[in-house]
Amino acid sequence: MSKALYRKYRSKSLDEIVGQKHVTDILARSIEQGRISHAYLLTGPRGVGKTSIARILAHAINKSPYDDDKTDLDIIEIDAASNNGVEDVRDLREKVQIAPVGSAKKIYIIDEVHMLSKAAFNALLKTLEEPPEHVVFILATTDVDKLPATIISRTQRFSFRAITKPEAVNHLKQIAKAEKIKIDDEALELIAERGEGSMRDSISLLDQLASLSGEKEPITVTLIEASIGLAPKNTVDNLLNAVENHDIAAIVSQLDIAYDQGVNGVILSQQLTQRVRELIIEKPQLLALLDSLLDVAKSAQPNLKLLSTLGSAATPKLAATKTVALSAPALEVSATIAELEKQATRSKPKEPAQPTPVKADKAAPTENVAKPSVEASEFDWDKLIEHTRKNYVAIFSVLQKCHYELTDNMLTLYTGNKFYKKKLDDVRYSTLLYKSLEEVGVYGLNIHTIPTAPPPKDSQAAAVAAIMGGGEEVAVEDNGN
């Protein structure tokens, strides 16, 4: 059985450690001067060399050769993830009193130390502060924020950093050359990028790809994209261009292509994040999009979340218009139905008056204002509902529960409750609603949402509803009884 590359090329000395010179130089000088601490704490992201340095340091302290295939009785490794109870620590406290077998020091390496329970930390505290002269602790963790301050203060802490892309590429190139793996520089850069600062993850990915490619076939960017579900670079660039050009159709098309190729929303959002980061100085207007992309991975439906994020970024005018409109105070009317009818009769003009523009909660997109508004007799509500059912299920689920009323260029939607009103007022839903109206041939409408049922059309029923504090008109069929 062949050994995994990350194990085969694990560093055996401080000089071989990649990207952590700020740590290795200090440790090398300390060992050379014989200044050995009783406890060390190694913190940093995964796969950057913490465990390797812990083992190298342990052997250097005892001046013994480092060999992965041999067991040193005086160097004990403990995985805190599976030995995190107070009983485990009490057992350790008893064993540290035993002198080393054949070395100057007995060294305990506790990996993922943040996994210890609170009681276990308390049990370890005294021993860590004043261990026997022959004992050295080396603690390692990826999550230092979970360690009690009392533990941190009793150690010498060394903070590791993520491996930079050039450092990873250089080390991967050396391994590829030694293993006779054919791979071009562009593919090496992509592997280093996907490693996200973890040298171990980068080497593991190279190992995986070496198994997929033949002896004569080199590892290419295309092979990497296909094997780990990445979207092609041109797809990422096309999506960003569509956002800048406010082209919703192009965004939907490119996302459909990516999803058909097996790319999921989380991976694609990560690729977009990386690309925007590269372009941010050249195109600072993408900064807001960068912030929104970070939320895609947290969503229960990342594919839809990514569509919403890119669509919202592509329609900034709608978002701005909605914000300004909603900042205006709402108009409240307090009167009985009879008073309103009487007032309407008195104020009725003798001659037909020109329609007065209505100030709406949301204005239709700027590009549609010049187009004629639809007549009430021409508006087909059922057609709109059916169109959203087939094309935009998210908005269909809300819209089908609404009632509508069309007057001049104002489409009033009675949502029945505040929850559905809030949904339709959200820029993601309102964008889809305007888009749906255009796709069924309706232009120039303003949309106003009301969080109640529509008022009864019958004057007597309306009066009763006013007395009862509201209500919905229901048609009752006469069954002849």
Give the pLDDT score at 366: 43
pLDDT number for residue 460: 54
Q: What CATH code is assigned to 5-159? A: 3.40.50.300
Tokens 């000089």, located at residue:
15
- pLDDT tens per residue across span 69-120: 778 888 989 888 887 778 888 888 888 888 888 888 999 999 989 988 888 8
Q: Specify whether domain 165-228 bears CATH 1.10.8.60.
A: yes
pLDDT of residue 375: 61
Positions in the chain whose pLDDT score sits under 50: 318-334, 340, 344, 347-372, 464, 466-469, 475-476, 478, 481
What residue segments make up the domains of the chain, in order of their start?
Answer: 5-159, 165-228, 233-314, 337-346+359-450
Sheet-wide strand order for 446-450: 403-407, 410-414, 446-450
Answering whether pTM is above 0.85, one says no
- Which run of H or of E encompasses 109? strand 106-111
Closest CA to 83 of 106, 111, 58, 53: 111
Number of neighbours of residue 323 by Cβ within 10 angstroms: 10
Asked if residue 282 lies in contact with residue 227, where contact means CB atoms within 8 angstroms, the answer is: no
Are the C-beta atoms of 180 and 148 separated by less than 8 Å? no
Q: Report which of 428, 431, 447 is spatially closest to residue 439, judged by C-alpha positions.
A: 431
Distance CA 31, CA 74 (A): 18
| 233-314: CATH, from 2.30.31, 2.60.120, 1.20.272, 1.10.3470 | 1.20.272
Instruction: Look at residue 71 in the predicted model and tell me its pLDDT.
Output: 82
What pLDDT does 331 receive? 45
Tokens, residue 341: 């009818």
Q: Please, what is the end-to-end C-alpha distance for the chain in angstroms?
A: 86
Q: Are 290 and 243 in contact (CB under 8 A)?
A: no
- Does CATH place domain 337-346+359-450 in 2.60.40.2140? no
Give the model's pLDDT for residue 346: 52
Place of tokens 């491996």: 163
- The pLDDT score that the predictor gives to residue 213 is 67
HSE-up (13 A, CA, CB side) for residue 409 = 20
Cα distance between residue 43 and residue 149, in whole Å: 14
pLDDT, one tens digit per residue, over 386-395 is 998 888 888 8
Residue 459: predicted pLDDT: 52
| Contact status, residue 296 vs residue 302, Cβ threshold 8 Å | yes
| Nearest to 307, CA basis, from 326, 327, 292 | 292
